[in-house]
A and B are shown apart, each in its own frame.
Chain A
Amino acid sequence: MTLAQYEQISNYAVASATVILGLAFIAYVAQWGFARNVAPDHALVEAGGSTSKPAGPAEEADRSDVAGGIGLSLTGLAWLVLLAGVIARGLSAQRVPWGNMYEFGCAGILVVLSAYLVLVRVWGIDWVGPIITGFGMVVLGLSALVWVPPGPLVPALHSYWLVIHVLGAMIAGSAFLVGAAASILFLLKSRAERITPVDEQVGFLWRIPPSAVIDKVAYRVHAFAFPIWTFAALIAGPIWAQYAWGKYWGWDPKEVWAFITWVVYACYLHARATAGWKGRNAAIIALIGFGCFLFNFIGVNLFIPGLHSYAK
């Protein structure tokens, strides 16, 4: 196959993956919507022969489950198609497929979906599905706006430290995203647990695990991501910079925001161990951390000039 054919395959695959992920998102939203009137354990409602809520909720619960299943399957399909797209991109550019912003977007979302699918198997976290698929769809869609034809890299990017640095950042970022999604659901769920009377506990929020479990998931993914981020941003990045610019740390805007992200996540880990800060405040700090990560990925590339902005 020629390089141009690979390029074409890659473009089609990424576009299809975006659409499939959009459908997955819709299925997940439907899962949420169908569960509007469903109590946490619909078996109880039936057993009590509840007259106020006739057969409806049980059926709705089933429908919600089916929608969730479809969402998960579509996410798996999107992963497969996107994998093909990213590999074809690498083949057509004849290098690792993460050398500019478009490619970061595609490869990044591929890693996000991989992380999500693995974690669904391990910890059953399909409840973050709506956030993950929605986010993935938006990022893939926006990546299309910064599409560039595949091609070799400028000399400063010729380094295997780039491969390691970017891969590390993408893995950490994916875990940060899962952590942020869990933190959002933690905030919603813990608030709901505080203010909702028992007989009004219906809807999707009551079909996901209790806030304590969500909090634990959030902590675990952050605890996984933080050392990787430390490695990618504070070891691999500086080593590469030392080779490329003779300066392992130059307070370039990209470096500044990588550092800020790191400090904010260190704050999160501290907050979890500080009385009065764990729970709500810690979750908010985790979300701020993810905001910094995103700003570094998008905002700094587009709005702030610096050595890194040529990686657009």
Chain B
Amino acid sequence: MTNAVPALGQREFTRWFWRQLTSMRTALFLLLLLAITAVPGSLYPQRSVDPRNVEAYFIEHPKSAPVLDKLGFFSVYTSPWFSAVYLLLLVSLVGCILPRSFVYLRALRARPPKAPKNFSRLPASASFETEASVDDVLKAGRRTLGRARVDTVTEGDVGELRAEKGFLREAGNLVFHISVVVVLLGVAFGTLFGYRGTAIVAEGQGFSNTLAQYDDFGSGSLFNTDKLPPFSMTLDKFTARFQLTGPQRGAPRAFEATGRYTPTPSSAERPFDITVNHPLKINGTSVYLVGQGYAPVIKVTDAQGHVAFDDAVPFLPTDPSYTSTGVVKVPDAKPEQLGFQGFFLPTAVAGKDGVAISAFPAAANPHLGLFVWHGDLGLDTGLSQSVYVLDKAKMKQYMGSDGKGFPVSLNEGQTQKLPGGGTIQYVKTLQFVRFQFSSSPLVKVPLFGVAAGVLGLILSLSIKPRRTWIRARREGSRTVVEVAVLDRVPRDDLPADLDDFLQRFRESLGETQETTQ
């Protein structure tokens, strides 16, 4: 017996807590909280959006960044506090939808309620007298009410019309709230079972969909990376067009990547044509064109006369004129490994201080400028290394006679001797494309969810649920008619169209006299 009391208390507490959680006030509070907690994600760089910006923030704010990181400010939308708010909101939403759905189903079958005794207590009411009989008044009322649910009740010489309309409002509202749940679940599913990655592919090169070929890759926690769809593709040609004249000279106009792909290892090769906004779909994976640049083909012959390197090297663009930076690593060079670091200019012109700059994004006068290091590239340490960064810890730079770094300066087709022996040749200019590969299964679920939600919203916000009562009482040779309306939501106190209704009502009775409100 003594145990029963706390148990009851607990159940009561649970019930109380549930009622609080599913109350309108809590929903309001949680929505506001959601809006506020979403703000930091737009002010601080986000890992999921651009991890490089996060690194830059760490460098600029070495003191505060680690603290902010602990608090989740660089991955706000997966942080515990943001998740807590939307999960609570989700629970509150479900707890709100369920009882309301039952109430709604019951209301669908219910009859319109009885008229209150005193109409003048209602926010909007009016009365008038007419020659017409009670019966005629009720019939006219029925006609004027149109498509409402109406009950007619007559008791002695008093007739009453009870009408209710606007049931679709609540239906729309429920559809909307349910669709919010559907969207959230759909998004969660797509995220958990989806993957996304990018890879750089130069003209003439291929890509096959395995983890090793990605530059960066991320997947949902329930996605099995061994099950990447086994397609492959080859980029044949990339075409970029830029504005040639006018004030927007150099602005990009069109990008197009063409090539061939095989959806599965056993299927035949098919052509593809990918442009911005027009991805290629392969077995549930979409392939997007998200970036581009130049990949000069560089050939390095070492001091012993062997060709140690001959390949296209992507240089990453750093400005709208495609001034690009890049690194060439030649681990096969003998006797020492070689490393090059420098820049690529698609349209090189002499700048003000003699330093060459790029004047236009297209490759009209391509130029390669590099510095040279020799020694150990540090590739054997077992640590993975970025292909875009030269680890100079165990390397020495070749210096020129002026004491500055020895410069390699090449136009397309040119060859230059290296200080330690051997040559470097800038063979030709290819372009590269950065493809994004992504798959989020059931992507249509959130889409149709929001679409249904909008339709529900429109019903919910445009339909007025309204109760109308008409009471007619025979008094001598005349009939006293009273009318009252009650708008339920939005809780309008003074329905403005009562006058309009009365006018139509009386026209339908063949009357045009004054009404007292």
Binding site for B on A (CB under 8 A): 148-149, 151-152, 154-156, 158-159, 212, 216, 219, 223-224, 226-227, 230-231, 234-235, 238-240, 242-253, 256-257, 259-260, 263-264, 266-267, 269-274, 276-278, 292, 300, 304-306
Contacts and interface: CB of A to CB of B under 8 A. Distances in A.
Contact of B243 (A151, A156, A158, A306): A151
A269 B176 CA distance: 13
Contacts of B28: 267, 270-271, 274, 277
B196 A243 contact: no
Contacts of A224: 461
Given A152-B243, A263-B35, 12 more contacts: A149-B246, A152-B251, A212-B493, A224-B461, A227-B458, A243-B279, A247-B438, A248-B446, A253-B42, A256-B41, A304-B42, A305-B53
B248 A151 contact: yes
Nearest to A277: B28
B39 A260 contact: yes
27 contacts: A148-B247, A149-B247, A151-B247, A154-B253, A155-B254, A155-B276, A226-B457, A230-B450, A239-B447, A243-B277, A244-B276, A246-B438, A248-B443, A250-B48, A251-B49, A256-B38, A259-B38, A263-B32, A264-B35, A266-B31, A270-B31, A272-B490, A273-B490, A273-B491, A274-B24, A274-B28, A300-B42
A77 B345 CA distance: 52
A110 to B, nearest CB: 24
A245 B436 contact: yes
A246 B436 contact: yes
Contact of B454 (A230, A247, A256): A230
Nearest to A235: B450
A238 B290 CA distance: 16
B248 to A, nearest CB: 4
A226 B31 contact: no
Contacts of A244: 276-277, 288
A256 B447 contact: no
Nearest to A162: B277
Contacts of B246: 149, 151
> Which of the listed residues A154, A224, A239 has the most CB atoms from chain B within 10 Å of its own CB?
A154
Contacts of A270: 24, 27-28, 31
Contacts of A234: 450
A282 B43 CA distance: 27
Interface residues of B, number: 58
A259 B247 CA distance: 35
Most A CB contacts (10 A, CB to CB) among B77, B255, B277, B440 go to B277
Nearest to A228: B454
Point out which of A260, A292, A304 has the most chain B C-beta atoms below 10 A from its C-beta.
A260
Contact of A250 (B32, B49, B451): B49
B419 interface: no
B453 interface: yes
Contacts of B458: 227
A215 to B, nearest CB: 10
Contact of A274 (B25, B248, B288, B440): B25
A245 B251 CA distance: 19
A257 B43 CA distance: 11
B417 to A, nearest CB: 42
A304 B43 contact: yes
Interface string B416-446: 0000000000000000000010101001001
Contacts of B498: none
Contact of B77 (A151, A154, A251, A267): A251
Interface in B18-35: 24-25, 27-28, 31-32, 34-35
A300 B458 CA distance: 29
Contacts of B492: 216
B364 interface: no
Q: Which of B38, B187, B489 has the most CB of A within 10 A?
A: B38
Interface string B185-206: 0010000000010000000000
Nearest to A247: B438
A231 B491 CA distance: 26
B324 interface: no
B208 interface: no
Contacts of B493: 212
A239 B446 CA distance: 11
A33 B77 CA distance: 50
Contacts of B490: 219, 272-273
Nearest to B27: A270
Nearest to B191: A249
B139 interface: no
A158 B277 CA distance: 7
Interface in B227-255: 243, 246-248, 251-255
B221 interface: no
B262 interface: no
Nearest to B194: A247
A212 B494 contact: yes
Interface string B485-504: 00001111110000000000
B217 to A, nearest CB: 14
A36 to B, nearest CB: 30
A273 B491 CA distance: 8
Nearest to A254: B42
Counting chain B CB atoms within 10 Å of each CB, which of A151, A246, A300 scores highest? A246
B207 to A, nearest CB: 15
A230 B34 contact: no
Contacts of A269: 461
A98 B77 CA distance: 31
B199 to A, nearest CB: 13
Contacts of A227: 454, 457-458, 461
A226 B493 CA distance: 23
B277 A263 contact: no
Contacts of B41: 251, 256
Contacts of B286: 246
B38 A235 contact: no
Contacts of A273: 24, 489-491
Interface in B92-151: none
A251 B47 CA distance: 11
Nearest to B246: A151
A226 B247 contact: no
B93 to A, nearest CB: 11
Contacts of B253: 152, 154-155
A235 B451 contact: yes
B275 interface: yes
Contacts of B248: 148-149, 151-152
A291 B422 CA distance: 65
A240 B251 CA distance: 21
Contacts of A154: 251-253
Given A235-B451, A270-B24, A304-B42, A246 B196 contact: yes
A306 B380 CA distance: 38
B462 interface: yes
B396 interface: no
Given A263-B38, A267-B35, A151 B457 contact: no
